[in-house]
A = this chain, B = another copy of it.
Amino acid sequence: MAFRFAVNVTPKAGILDPQGRAVEQSLPHLGVTGVSGVRVGRRVELTVEAATEAAARVVVERLAGELLSNPLIEAYAVELFGATSSTSTAEAPA
């Protein structure tokens, strides 16, 4: 089975987020008001080949914690968005 996951990595609360600040500061130039709390993180999508969803999640959790995020300053959330029995559909549908 092939499972398609997304790992959402965001700066932890209280951690300075320069990209988010940059977005906020550009909003007045676009004439946009009423937007606040902008936080910029990463989203990593990947396909894991495994016998069960639980086994696939073990792989994703390990990658998310060790490779895709910096646990000191970032939090991550794992999201499953598809399972297929074929191994040929490594790309998620757009």
A positions within 8 Å CB-CB of B: 4, 6, 8-10, 12-13, 20, 23, 26-27, 30, 32, 34-50, 59, 62-63, 66-68, 75, 90-92, 94
Contacts and interface: CB of A to CB of B under 8 A. Distances in A.
Contact of A30 (B23, B41, B66): B66
Contacts of A39: 44-46, 92
Nearest to A75: B94
Contacts of A9: 43
Contact of A37 (B63, B75, B92): B92
Contacts of A6: 8
Contact of A13 (B10, B49, B50, B91): B91
